[in-house]
Structure 1
C-alpha cells in the first residue's frame, strides 16, 4: 500500500477495532488503522485474570494521571488506558454491560436522532453472540461472543445474592435484559479460556483482508488539514515522522483522553488555550476536552471465617495449582474476572433508575494503591471485598493539552465528588454495603470489617474515607460529546466534527452523557453504529 488510503482510523481500541472490521467487510474500501501500542499477543493480555499485571505496565498502558483532586483528598488518580491492539478492552476487567434503556433515550432527547434505545438495541443484538441465547434483549450469531458467566464461580456469590435479597435488592438474572436493577452475576467478554477483547472479536478476523492495514507503534501527532477538510495524519514510527493521507475520512478512535488531545494539538479546541501553546486555531470550540465524566468508587473489605480466593492465589503452591487447573481444563480463578457478582441499586426509592453499581469479589488486596494491583498476590488471610461506583455522577472535569506535542500527556482534571449530590449519594451507597454484609446470608461468614473499619461511623468520617480511598473505575467519556449545536458539543449525531469536513470522532469521547455501567460494550456499539453511518454517507 502507498501512503494513501480511503479511511484512517486512529486507535485500535474498543470502537476502532469494530470500525476496522465493518469498514473493510465489503472489500470496497482501503482502511488503515494506526495504533500507538503493539501486539496484544501477550500472555497476561490473553489470561483473563492477568489484567492485574497490566495495570501499571507501560508496554500496554498509557499510564495517565489526573491533576491533584480535592475530591479525592488531593491525590492524583491513576488512569490506566490500553496502549495495545484492543485498547482498553485488552486490559479491562471484561464486564459486559450495555447501559440502561433510559441512558440512550436521553442521548436521543439531547438532539441526537438515531441514538435512542430501540436503535442502539438493534446494534447491540447484531454485534453479539450471547452465550445466554437470543431473545428480545440479546443477540446471537454476531462477531462478539459474550459469556453468561454462571459456572465456576466462588460459592460465596450465591450467599452474596441472597444477602442482597435480604437487604431489599432482588436477584436479577440478566443486567442486559428487561431491567438493570438487582443483584446477580456479570456477563463477560471471555471466550473459552481467553479474554475476548475487541481485537480478538473484530480486528484479528479483519486483518486477513487485503484492504486492511494495521500499523502498530505508530503514534499520531496531529490531523492534517487542507482548509476545513481533514486529509490525513502525521504520525511517528521508529523515530521517523510520516504522513498518511485519507481519500475519504479521518476517524479519531483514540478514546476519551486521546481524541480530544489530538483535536487540540491539531488546532480544534478552546482558542485561548491553543494560542497560549502556539497552535494556530483552525476551529474554535471550547467543548473539546470539556464535559469529562467518569465513574468513581471504592471497596469495603471484610475478614472472613471461610476460605476465599486469597488462600489459593497467594501461596506458591496455590499459584501452581490454579495454573495447572487453567492449563489442563481452561477453568479456575485464572479464567475469570475477579468481579464474580455485582448489581445495580437505587440509593433512594424515589429515583427513577439505579444510580449505583456493585462489585462482589471473593478476594481482597489491602496493599497500597500505587505501584501494583496485586490480583495474583492477594492478602495472606481470607478476605472479601464489596465495591461500588456511582452510575450517574453530576461532577464534570476536563482534558486540556499542556503542550503542542501529542507525546506529552494532557492535563486531566477529574473533579471527583465535586457536587453535593455526588457526595450525598455516595454516602448513602457505602451504608448500603454494610447493610448487605449484615444480612444473615453473609453475616454468618464474617469475622470483622477491615476497611474502612468499624470505628468509621459518622457521616463526616465516612465521607472522609471515601474521598481518601476512592478512585476511577475507568469509564472516562463525553470529552468530544455528540449534540446538534457546536455551542454545546463537538460532533453531530453522525459523529462528524462540527464545522469541519472529513473528520469524525467515534469512541467513548462521543457519548453525550455517561451510561450507567461499564463502558466497553457501549464503546463497541458506537463503533458498530458509527461504521454504518460512515458507509451510508459514502454511498
Structure 2
C-alpha cells in the first residue's frame, strides 16, 4: 500500500466506490481508497427484507441529533454506513432520480448548466443497468435497477389503483421526466439480494494493480499548508499513518466530510476555536444549510385479512404529488405518500403486530427547515453536534398536514376497501390542525437523506465550487451528498451516483 498516490479517495461509500472504479480505469494513475469499515459479512445486509432492522449494528456510525423542538424534543438516530459500500448497505434500496425542476434549482444556485437534468442524464444512465434500454434508462452501467412486476404485493397493487381512482397518473417508474404519479418503487436489488455500490462497482475492479483499498482505517485529520492538503492522518489497527496525493477527494458523506474538515482547521473560526481547533481556512458555511427528508410514520390501518410479507423490502410504492392538486399539471411535487406492507411507527407509539397492519408513510419533498452540524472537540471520538432543526418552518408543518391528508384520502378509496379494517393511527377522530401537528411531531422520522453541508454554489461563500473543488484549497474536492445544494424530491442515492460519475468524467475530459 503506497503512502503517496495520484488520487486519494477518502470514504468507500456510494460515491467513493464509483470514483475508485472510474478513476483507476487509467492504468497510469495510482488510486488509493480509504474506508473506516470493511466489507460486510453480516448476511442481513444483503437481505432486502431485513431493512431497516440492520441499523445500529457495528457497521452503522449511528449518529444522533440534538433534541428537536419540532419533533417533540426527540433525538433522531442517523444511520450512516461504516462499511465498504457505505450507506448503500443500509438504505432502503430506492432508485429515484428526482424531478427535472430539482436540477433547475441546482443550475440556478451554481450558475452551471452542467447540473441540469438533461446534462446529468448521461451520467445517470452510465451507472444504471435496467433490463430494457430507453432514451431515459441505461443498460450498460453496473448498478442493477429492478422495476418490480410479479413481486409487487397485492396490497400495493390496490394502493396504486387507489391513486388512479383519485386521478393521480400511473407511471412506469419514477425515473422519467415526470415524477408526479404513482408506481412501484425502482429498487437496487438483483436475484432477491441488495446490491451495494461496493458489489456493483468496486469488487469487479479490485484486481487492478493501480487500485489500492485500505480498510479499517479512520481518517483523523488533513494536514494543510499553502492552500494544499499535504497529508492525511489516518488510524489503523497497525498504528497511525500519513498518506498523501496530488489530488484528494472527500467522499465521507454529509456528516463526516464537514467534521473532518473542521478537525483539520477549516470552517467558522469562532466555532473551531471553541472546539479547541486552530482555524487555518475560514469557511463559514461549512456544516450549515443542513437539511433532510422526513416521513410521518405513519397512517396505520388494521388489515381486514392477513397480510403476507413483502417479497421485496416492505416499502414498495411511492406516490409523488403536488399539495395543490392531484393533477399532473398542478405543479412540481412537494409531498409524497408511500405504502409499507408492515407496521411502521416512530418510537413514540407501540409497534402494531406484523401481518395485521399496514402503513401509509407521508412526507415533504422539499423542506425549508435548515440546520447545521459542528465538532465539539478536535478528536474523532468527540461526538458531533447535529441540529437539523426539523419542522422549524410553517412551510414544512403545513406541507406535512397536507401529506397526512393525502395518505388518509388514498387509504379510504374503494380500491383499498378490501384491506381497510380501520385507522389505528393517528385515529379517525384526530382532525384538528393542532392535534395533527402534535401527532406529526411525534410520528416524524428521518428518511436518512442529509445533504448540503458542503453545498456547491456560485457564491464565494459556498463551501464548494460548481466543479466540486473546495474553495481555498487547490487539491481537494468533495464528491458525495454533502455538495447537493438543494435536496431532490426523492431518495438521494441516484443523484449521488450521478454526481460521482460526472466528477470522474469531468476529471478525465
Query: TM-score, normalized by length of structure 1?
Result: 0.90
Report the equivalent of 1:524.
497
**Deviation at 1:351?**
5.5
Tell me how far apart the structure 2 counterparts of residues 467 and 67 of structure 1 sit (CA, whole Å): 15
Residue pairs, 1:87-166, within 5 angstroms: 87-113=86-112, 114-131=114-131, 133-166=132-165
* Aligned partners of 1:231 and 1:250 also within 8 Å: no
Report the equivalent of 2:334.
355
**Deviation at 1:112?**
4.0
* Aligned partners of 1:231 and 1:249 also within 8 Å: no
Tell me how far apart the structure 2 counterparts of residues 380 and 221 of structure 1 sit (CA, whole Å): 43
Report the equivalent of 2:268.
270
Residue pairs, 1:46-445, within 5 angstroms: 46-57=46-57, 59-113=58-112, 114-131=114-131, 133-238=132-237, 240-246=239-245, 248-298=246-296, 299-309=298-308, 333=310, 336-349=312-325, 352-365=331-344, 368=347, 379-445=353-419
Structure 2 unaligned regions, length at least 5: none
**Matched position secondary structure for 1:521:** helix
Q: 1:14 to 1:112 in 2, by over 3 A?
A: farther
Tell me how far apart the structure 2 counterparts of residues 289 and 427 of structure 1 sit (CA, whole Å): 29
Tell me how far apart the structure 1 counterparts of residues 218 and 75 of structure 2 sit (CA, whole Å): 25
- Of stretches 444-453 and 394-403 in structure 1, the one that deviates more from structure 2 is 444-453
Report the equivalent of 1:27.
27
Tell me how far apart the structure 2 counterparts of residues 380 and 158 of structure 1 sit (CA, whole Å): 19
Tell me how far apart the structure 1 counterparts of residues 122 and 271 of structure 2 sit (CA, whole Å): 41
**Deviation at 1:183?**
1.0
Report the equivalent of 2:473.
500
Deviation per residue, 1:40-62 (Å, 9 max, x gap): 233011112223331121x1100
Tell me how far apart the structure 2 counterparts of residues 76 and 366 of structure 1 sit (CA, whole Å): 15
Report the equivalent of 1:464.
438
**Deviation at 1:383?**
0.8
Q: 1:62 to 1:112 in 2, by over 3 A?
A: farther
Tell me how far apart the structure 1 counterparts of residues 86 and 267 of structure 2 sit (CA, whole Å): 25
Q: 1:304 to 1:99 in 2, by over 3 A?
A: same
* Aligned partners of 2:277 and 2:377 also within 8 Å: no
Tell me how far apart the structure 2 counterparts of residues 266 and 456 of structure 1 sit (CA, whole Å): 50
* Aligned partners of 2:287 and 2:453 also within 8 Å: yes
Q: How many residues align?
A: 504
Q: 1:369 to 1:217 in 2, by over 3 A?
A: farther
**Matched position secondary structure for 1:5:** strand
Structure 1 unaligned regions, length at least 5: 313-332
Report the equivalent of 1:318.
none
4+ runs deviating over 6 angstroms: none
**Matched position secondary structure for 1:515:** coil
Report the equivalent of 1:45.
45
Tell me how far apart the structure 2 counterparts of residues 18 and 117 of structure 1 sit (CA, whole Å): 20
**Deviation at 1:527?**
0.8
Deviation per residue, 1:355-413 (Å, 9 max, x gap): 1122211211458469xx99xxx725511111122111111001111111123231110
